């Protein structure tokens, strides 16, 4: 029997209409003879509201977090009242959501008293969104006759203890899924699982990072399913962010590698780690629209089809900073770059792009804005002796920049693609600050001033649009 993991994002469970579409998609698949593992996000806006309430609690704004609790409770209750007739099931589910919100308020009270929240407590707070949405969804689906049962993913998805950016412990997770989740499917249960959250070995709730439900979906798909479907609010993976350029078109086929680059370089439609668990098992993934369920969406698998114009999509990342390490004394001195990146890792930074000039008088790399000054401090500490000797002159931060990336597997081995990309930038008078091409030759990334972001994306998007022109 075919098994499919279906992940529904925040907007796909964000309103009574959305939930109604989503439960129907699951019901139809189950009625069609498929086994379905459902992975859910919190209702849209709930994760942001929960994170915000941590700040309110820490700063003594009790009214603020109590009113957030009220709003979140109402959102779930209203949805249940619209989608379920008065019944014991409805009352029971409303009571469960009420109990979770009471627990949430208690934790906020504790934060209020202490005046701060540890990462572990933050994860506990933010987990309530998904813990509520699964109960709501399972109740509505069981009312439709599907044997749906909600489970908190921590029963199966075991992670390390790095709160807010936890990494799965693969072997432990696989064992739990095989021993505890697959038997549920065998019994004919449709499990409704929380996305985004897991549990560490010491029993604390952890989260996989913002947008992490896609990653959860892929983890569950890897050990249970023949296919992963990411149900979201757009028709598929598109040639550009439709919010930046409304000419964006759906790409019918994309390879794992292409989608990995797209997600890493800012296409919000998928969490960057989504392909990781399914890639080596060759499990195909589709991105589809909950609000347009007859549309086939984008199919992502091993060998995507190269497109005529080579460039398939354009993405961008804002809120990044460019750090430049420069000095004439660096020439030929081994180890400076290595020590710099280790120092950056020590500051918890994720390096998004690296570029070095051939003269070796400087190299630069990009990190998120939030980490930039910590990174600079750590590098100054690490390279203190070189700075004192003036081998290194400067470590500079430039924060009004963005990364633009063009993605397309067909770039491999085809000369002139970079020339076209930078030709377009030149023609639009956009200054390129730094350039990097990954060795996979599946993407070209470069840095421009933030003020040029939209113009650069729109100009490059023309190249990608030629490939999907019908
Ligand atoms: P979900 O709540 O379903 O996880 P997200 O908001 O995280 O949805 O991701 C979907 C959004 O990603 C879309 O609404 C779209 O605005 C944005 N997006 C950015 N780049 C792309 C792209 N290249 N293709 C499709 N969507 C994109
Ligand atoms: N609810 C979480 C978030 O908003 C996870 C997700 O939706 O993927 O980040
Ligand atoms: Mg998302």
Query: How far does residue 457's CA lie from ligand 3's centre (Å)?
Result: 21
The residues pairing with 194 across neighbouring beta strands, listed in sequence order, are 40
Q: Which CATH number fits domain 3-233: 3.40.47.10, 3.40.1160.10, 3.20.190.10, 3.40.50.300?
A: 3.40.1160.10
Query: How far does residue 158's CA lie from ligand 1's centre (Å)?
Result: 27
Which residue, 154, 156, 188, is CA-closest to 173? 156
- CB under 8 Å to 279, separation ≥6 — which residues? 256, 260
Candidates 13, 213, 268: which one to mutate for ligand 1, based on the most atoms within 8 Å of Cβ? 268
Which residue, 466, 401, 414, is CA-closest to 444? 414
Read off the tokens for 49: 């509201």
Read off the tokens for 136: 């709501």
The one-character DSSP state at 27 is: H
- How far apart, in whole angstroms, are the C-alpha atoms of residue 118 and residue 106? 15
- CB under 8 Å to 377, separation ≥6 — which residues? 347
- How far apart, in whole angstroms, are the C-alpha atoms of residue 172 and residue 219? 12
Is the C-beta atom of 212 inside 6 A of ligand 2?
Answer: yes
- How far apart, in whole angstroms, are the C-alpha atoms of residue 277 and residue 364? 31
- How far apart, in whole angstroms, are the C-alpha atoms of residue 124 and residue 179? 26
Q: How many CB atoms lie within 10 A of CB 334?
A: 7
Query: How far does residue 10's CA lie from ligand 2's centre (Å)?
Result: 7
Report the predicted TM-score, pTM, of the whole model to 2 decimal places: 0.94
Among protein residues, the one whose CA lies closest to atom 8 of ligand 2: 211
Query: How far does residue 196's CA lie from ligand 2's centre (Å)?
Result: 6
Measured distance between the N- and C-terminal CA atoms of the chain, rounded to whole angstroms = 37
Is the C-beta atom of 232 inside 6 A of ligand 1?
Answer: yes
Read off the pLDDT of residues 261-291 as tens digits, 9 standing for 90 and up: 999 999 999 999 999 999 989 999 999 999 9
- How far apart, in whole angstroms, are the C-alpha atoms of residue 407 and residue 33? 37
Is the C-beta atom of 49 inside 6 A of ligand 1?
Answer: no
Q: How many CB atoms lie within 10 A of CB 303?
A: 10
Read off the tokens for 64: 């603020």
Q: Domain locations in the chain?
A: 3-233, 313-465
CATH topology (fold) of 313-465? VC0802-like (3.30.2130)
- pLDDT at residue 467, as a whole number: 65
Which atom from ligand 2 is nearest to the alpha carbon of 216? 8
Which atom from ligand 1 is nearest to the alpha carbon of 267? 20
Same fold, 3-233 and 313-465: no
Number of residues written out for the chain: 470
Read off the tokens for 351: 């390096």
Query: How far does residue 183's CA lie from ligand 2's centre (Å)?
Result: 28
Contact 143, 84 (CB under 8 A): yes
Which residue, 410, 412, 436, is CA-closest to 317? 436
Among protein residues, the one whose CA lies closest to atom 5 of ligand 2: 211
Is the C-beta atom of 11 inside 6 A of ligand 2?
Answer: no
Read off the pLDDT of residues 236-247 as tens digits, 9 standing for 90 and up: 999 999 999 999
Which residue, 17, 14, 20, is CA-closest to 42? 14
Query: How far does residue 180's CA lie from ligand 2's centre (Å)?
Result: 25
Contact 421, 406 (CB under 8 A): yes
- How far apart, in whole angstroms, are the C-alpha atoms of residue 366 and residue 453? 16
Contact 44, 233 (CB under 8 A): no
Per-residue pLDDT of the chain (470 residues; tens, 9 = 90+): 999 999 999 999 999 999 999 999 999 999 999 999 999 999 999 999 999 999 999 999 999 999 999 999 999 999 999 999 999 999 999 999 999 999 999 999 999 999 999 999 999 999 999 999 999 999 999 999 999 999 999 999 999 999 999 999 999 999 999 999 999 999 999 999 999 999 999 999 999 999 999 999 999 999 999 999 999 999 999 999 999 999 999 999 999 999 999 999 999 999 999 999 999 899 999 999 999 999 999 999 987 565 555 789 999 999 999 999 998 888 777 788 889 999 999 998 989 999 887 666 889 999 998 899 999 999 999 999 999 989 899 899 999 999 999 998 877 667 788 888 999 999 999 999 999 886 667 899 999 999 999 999 999 999 888 765 43
Is the C-beta atom of 267 inside 6 A of ligand 1?
Answer: yes
Q: How many CB atoms lie within 10 A of CB 301?
A: 18
Read off the tokens for 310: 């080579």
Three-state DSSP class for 430?
Answer: coil
Which atom from ligand 1 is nearest to the alpha carbon of 238? 24
- CB under 8 Å to 89, separation ≥6 — which residues? 139, 142, 143
Q: Give how far Cα 272 sits from Cα of 77, 259, 261, 267, 436, Å.
A: 33, 9, 8, 9, 19
Half-sphere exposure of 357 (CA within 13 A, CB side): 15
Which residue, 213, 205, 58, is CA-closest to 120? 205
Read off the tokens for 247: 């000419």
Is the C-beta atom of 48 inside 6 A of ligand 1?
Answer: no
Which atom from ligand 2 is nearest to the alpha carbon of 214? 8
Query: How far does residue 211's CA lie from ligand 3's centre (Å)?
Result: 4
Which atom from ligand 2 is nearest to the alpha carbon of 41? 7
The residues pairing with 195 across neighbouring beta strands, listed in sequence order, are none
The one-character DSSP state at 168 is: B
Which atom from ligand 1 is nearest to the alpha carbon of 12? 3
Which atom from ligand 2 is nearest to the alpha carbon of 213? 8
């Amino acid at each position: 029997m075919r098994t499919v993991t279906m992940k529904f994002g925040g907007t796909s469970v964000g309103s009574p209409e959305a939930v109604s579409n989503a439960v129907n998609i699951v019901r139809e698949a189950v009625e069609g003879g498929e086994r379905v593992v459902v992975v859910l996000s919190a209702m849209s806006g709930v994760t942001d509201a929960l994170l915000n309430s941590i700040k309110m609690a820490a700063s003594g704004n009790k009214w603020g977090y109590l009113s957030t609790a009220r709003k979140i409770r109402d959102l779930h209750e209203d949805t249940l009242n619209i989608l379920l007739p008065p019944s014991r099931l409805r009352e029971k589910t409303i009571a469960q959501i009420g109990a979770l919100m009471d627990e949430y308020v208690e934790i906020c009270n504790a934060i209020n008293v202490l005046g701060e929240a540890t990462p572990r407590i933050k994860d506990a707070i933010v987990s309530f969104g998904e813990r509520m949405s699964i109960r709501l969804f399972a109740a509505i689906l069981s009312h439709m006759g599907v044997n749906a049962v909600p489970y908190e993913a921590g029963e199966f998805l075991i992670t390390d203890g790095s709160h807010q950016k936890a990494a799965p412990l693969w072997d432990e997770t696989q064992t739990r899924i095989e021993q505890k989740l697959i038997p549920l499917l065998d019994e004919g249960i449709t499990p409704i699982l929380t996305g985004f959250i897991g549990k560490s070995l010491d029993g604390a709730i952890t989260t996989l990072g913002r947008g992490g439900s896609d990653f959860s979906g892929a983890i569950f798909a890897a050990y249970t399913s023949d296919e992963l479907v990411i149900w979201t609010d757009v028709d598929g993976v598109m040639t550009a962010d439709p919010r930046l350029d409304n000419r964006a078109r759906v790409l019918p086929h994309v390879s794992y590698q292409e989608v990995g680059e797209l997600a890493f370089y800012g296409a919000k439609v998928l969490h960057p780690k989504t392909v990781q668990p399914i890639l080596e098992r060759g499990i195909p993934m589709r991105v589809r629209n909950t609000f347009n369920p007859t549309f086939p969406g984008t199919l992502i698998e091993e060998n995507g089809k190269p497109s005529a114009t080579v460039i398939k999509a354009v993405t961008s990342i804002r809120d990044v900073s460019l750090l430049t390490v420069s000095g004439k004394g660096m020439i030929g001195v081994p180890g400076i770059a290595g020590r710099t990146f280790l120092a950056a890792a020590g500051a918890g930074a994720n390096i998004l792009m690296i570029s070095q000039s051939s003269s070796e008088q400087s190299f630069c790399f990009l990190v998120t804005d939030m980490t930039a000054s910590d990174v600079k401090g750590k590098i100054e500490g690490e390279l203190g002796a070189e700075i004192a000797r003036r081998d290194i002159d400067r470590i500079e931060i430039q924060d009004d920049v963005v990364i633009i990336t063009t993605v397309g597997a067909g770039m491999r081995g085809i000369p002139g693609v970079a020339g076209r990309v930078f030709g377009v930038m030149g023609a639009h008078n956009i200054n390129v600050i730094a350039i990097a091409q990954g060795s996979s030759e599946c993407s070209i990334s470069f840095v421009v001033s933030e003020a040029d972001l939209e113009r650069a994306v729109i100009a490059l998007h023309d190249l990608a649009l030629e490939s999907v022109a019908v």
